[in-house]
Amino acid sequence: MNVEPPVSLDAFAGEDSQAIREGVFQCLRQGCLNRQSPFHTLSLATVDADGGPEVRTVVFRGLDVQQRQVRMHTDLRSPKVVSLQRDPRATLLWYAPEWKLQVRARASVAVHHADEVAAAYWESSHPRSRRVYNAPYPPGAPTPHAVTDIAPHLLDAVVTMENTAAGFGTFAVMLATITRLEWLMLYASGNRRGCFHWQDAAWRHQWLAP
């Protein structure tokens, strides 16, 4: 099912950089609130131990426009946590084929585990979301046979806050603070592109060649 953008995309055809920035953030806000939005998942690219690129799809959990932060959740045992703890630089990528809109962000990612930030989001998570953090195997680990990310004792159980509580031990929150936000709108009449970079406590817009 196609989801309509939360704002008119006409702003991207204009010259008003503030309207464009507001349009970008409205689309991102819809992405973290609406599971049907094409922006509800994003690609997260990091640098691995060998200095090479790694990319994966993650769920967009939250947006704080004032703090310029995007929130994502992960298993603490995931290789991307090791990558981010060594090098917090990351690129975030959203694309909505229905809207012909791409948004790309450069960010620095902080990983929170077993602290007030992680505890707050853990307590507000639905039990169905919490159960995957009870998985016996770390993400990406070799397994002796095909497995899911649901612990055997939870497969046929009614999940509750209580029987998923142990998952807090592997639950982590990734907060990505954006330093550059680039947008690209595809038009049959000619594509348009620009970026916002954070400088002197304000967003500065720069037009770019598509």
The pLDDT, as a whole number, for residue 1 is 65
Helix (H) or strand (E) holding 4: none
Tens place of pLDDT per residue across the chain (210 aa)? 679 998 889 999 999 999 999 999 999 999 999 999 999 999 999 999 899 999 999 999 999 999 999 999 999 999 999 999 999 999 999 999 999 999 999 999 999 999 999 999 999 999 999 999 999 999 999 999 999 999 888 988 999 999 999 999 999 999 999 999 999 999 999 999 999 999 999 999 999 999
Both structure tokens of 11 = 């702003």
The whole-angstrom separation of Cα 173 and Cα 171 is 7
The pLDDT, as a whole number, for residue 155 is 87
Q: Are 93 and 102 in contact (CB under 8 A)?
A: yes
- With 0-12 CB in 10 A as exposed, 13-18 as middle and 19+ as buried, what is 181? buried
The pLDDT, as a whole number, for residue 49 is 87
The pLDDT, as a whole number, for residue 199 is 95
Phi, psi of 147 (to 5 degrees): -135, 165
Q: Does domain 9-208 have CATH number 3.40.30.10?
A: no
- With 0-12 CB in 10 A as exposed, 13-18 as middle and 19+ as buried, what is 10? exposed
Q: Where are the domains of the chain?
A: 9-208
Give the residue from 107, 85, 86, 103 showing the smallest Cα distance to 94: 103
Both structure tokens of 155 = 């497969």
> What is the dihedral angle through the alpha carbons of 180, 27, 174, 197, rounded to the nearest 10 degrees?
10
The whole-angstrom separation of Cα 210 and Cα 207 is 9
Tokens 């196609």, residue? 2
Please name the residue ranges forming H helices in 93-172.
116-123, 127-130
CB atoms within 10 A of CB 183: 23
Tokens 């817009």, residue? 205
- With 0-12 CB in 10 A as exposed, 13-18 as middle and 19+ as buried, what is 141? exposed
Alpha carbon separation from 207 to 12, 46, 184, 192, 197 (Å, rounded): 12, 26, 10, 9, 11
